Chain A
Amino acid sequence: MTEQELVDGCIREDRICQRELWNRYSRKIMSLCLRYCNSQEEAEDALMEAYVKIYDNLSKFRFQSSLETWMRRVAVNLCINKIRARKHIWTSITEDEYRLGYNDDAFEHLQVDQIMKLVEALPVGYRTVFNMYAIEGYSHKDIAEMLGIDEGTSRSQFAKARKVLQQQIHKSEGGSQAS
């Protein structure tokens, strides 16, 4: 079933198409939700809510991107709304601190599952910006608009997230070498 057929079917409220949409993308969206949410339960709730939104708004999908990208965007927006509702306090760092930069090579030695676990363990602010910037590919400007924060705050959150991640990787590497 092509994306077009799938979307048309879902708009017609065709249960087979709707189920196919669920089967095809629900696990990927769940993975996305897990990266943004604090717990498995919260992520599952976000997944269901995201799908309700997707089914309700599929008629607005204009095929300007892939269906998956559109669905991811819906889910990200939903997760961000949840985060914003929690009134998270964002902390910022100085530009110099940000410019220090960190080496991504450390990530190369890790499995995706390990990276996921490390990302999930990040504090909410770091995690959200890291997910949006490093994984979803949003710009800091977009992130700032979506999260209602300064662009500088977004940058600093990302820098801190990387720093924490690298520290965690080094820790785990050190631990494995010692053993």
Chain B
Amino acid sequence: MMENQRFHSELRDKLLDLESPFNERVSFEAVMKKREKKKRRIILWIPSMVVVAGLFVVGGLGMLWVNTDQDPHKVQQVSLSKTIVKPKSNVKPNPSNRITAEAEKSTRIGESAKVNRPSKLGGFTGDSRVAVVSPSFLEDAKTVDQSNLVVSAVSETTASVQTTAEAKAFVGEDLLCDPQGIETVSIGFSDPLKDHVEIPEGEYEAQWDPALLKSKWYAEFAATTGSSVVVNFNEDDRLSILGNIYHANYHGLILKDVGRGFMLGAGLSYGEMLGTGEWRVREYEERISIDSYDLVVMIPPVQTVRVYDTTVSQVRVETVGQLSFRIDKYAIPLAARYNFMLGKMAWRAAAQLNPGLTIKTAGDFFTNTEYAAITSQKNLTMDVKLAVGPTISIFNNWFLVLEPNLMHHTYRNLKSGESRGKTLTGFGVSVIHHF
């Protein structure tokens, strides 16, 4: 009954057939335009979403890595189930002990090297062995999820001698990790000798084996760009220059971690500096214009007199011209880096001094108010670069640093002793490899 309370079919049909006008802005062309716009938006949207998603994934993985490495959880223990024997009561545990195992049972361990050095073990002396636990063994042990775990084992020739085991995981240790977690500088450049590992209760602390320490050496490859707009709108200046200066700098460095987050290094760099612009000279000239006309004096005798009218006016004359220069140079950069944490993000501050030589110069170097020809091909150069940016881990032992930077470029003519320079700001990217 209720469902039948619709409109009269006749009225309904009339309403359905009713046509309504619309404004001029609504047209077939407008609809097509809207459709094209929508399609274009989709075309742009999809790749941009892919890029954003990729960045999120990379960032997320980086953060995950940082967070995982900074977790204060206990280092997992390798449990050599059948090979570990509890210490006998008459043997004092020695914290300097390494993984020890019964010699005959160490066959499960893929021995990678033998070190015939004496090692102390509960008052006894025996052969030391550095062994690598095979991944299959670790799977059996079910206690370690990292496959390249390195353990040191000292085996005693006497079977009854106390055996203890200690595993130290260095797997995936990276420079963004500070095992201490409480250092002010804590992204892994601190002195590794100071690092400690939380020792689970009842276990024995292992001594650091220098052979297992991470390298303190890093390689850095970077590309830095920057620009500066040269502009002078001061009408009072005789010469004003409008232009742009760009630079691109590429360098390779070897850096050494000197502790407390600092790294020092040196390398080789190549840089290009380009400038294009326009100079404008405003000069005021005095111009004299002389008008003359003949005046007829009607008084007899009738005479004609030529009258001269001199006008002096000041006219502003503008002269314009093109400017450009190019400086190519090699340098030996001396670099200092400081790594620090801000929240959960690793950051790096960089200072760099690039003493070097130009290898090719051309054109006229310019600033806002002056320009001069670069007369010599060989000039001393000294560039200073300051940069700060986030460090992102991209692969194991590979890092990316995004560096907004400020770079001051100078060159000095050896013959005339004249120096010129310009500060440019820009963006750089550095890739760091930890050896």
Contacts and interface: CB of A to CB of B under 8 A. Distances in A.
A16 to B, nearest CB: 11
A9 to B, nearest CB: 14
Given A18-B32, A22-B28, A47-B26, A30 B6 contact: no
How many chain A residues sit at the interface, stated as a range, is: 35 or more
A12 interface: no
Contacts of B5: 101-102, 104, 158, 162
A167 B371 CA distance: 86
Contact of B12 (A26, A34, A135): A135
A48 B17 contact: no
In terms of DSSP, what is the predominant structure of the interface of chain B?
helix
Interface string A105-142: 00110001101100000000000000001110101100
A133 B6 contact: yes
Contact of A134 (B2, B12, B14, B28): B12
B63 to A, nearest CB: 36
Contacts of A155: 2
A116 B22 contact: no
Contacts of B12: 134-135, 137
A40 B26 CA distance: 11
A40 B31 CA distance: 17
Interface in B1-24: 2-3, 5-8, 11-12, 14-23
A99 B2 CA distance: 7
Interface string A66-82: 00000010000000000
Contacts of B316: none
A52 B11 contact: no
A112 B15 contact: yes
Given A44-B25, A101-B5, A135 B20 contact: no
B141 interface: no
Nearest to B31: A51
* Most chain B beta carbons < 10 A, residue from A98, A112, A140: A112
Nearest to B36: A52
B38 interface: yes
Contact of B16 (A27, A48, A135, A158): A135
A112 B20 CA distance: 12
Contacts of B30: 48
Contacts of B18: 28, 31, 112-113, 116
Interface in A34-90: 34-35, 40, 43-44, 47-49, 51-52, 55-56, 72
A27 B2 CA distance: 32
B34 interface: yes
B35 interface: yes
Contacts of A44: 22-23, 25-26
Given A22-B28, A44-B26, A98-B2, 14 more contacts: A18-B32, A23-B28, A27-B20, A27-B22, A30-B26, A31-B19, A31-B20, A34-B20, A48-B30, A51-B31, A55-B31, A72-B16, A108-B11, A112-B11
13 contacts: A19-B28, A27-B21, A28-B17, A28-B19, A30-B20, A40-B22, A43-B22, A51-B31, A99-B2, A102-B5, A135-B7, A139-B3, A158-B5
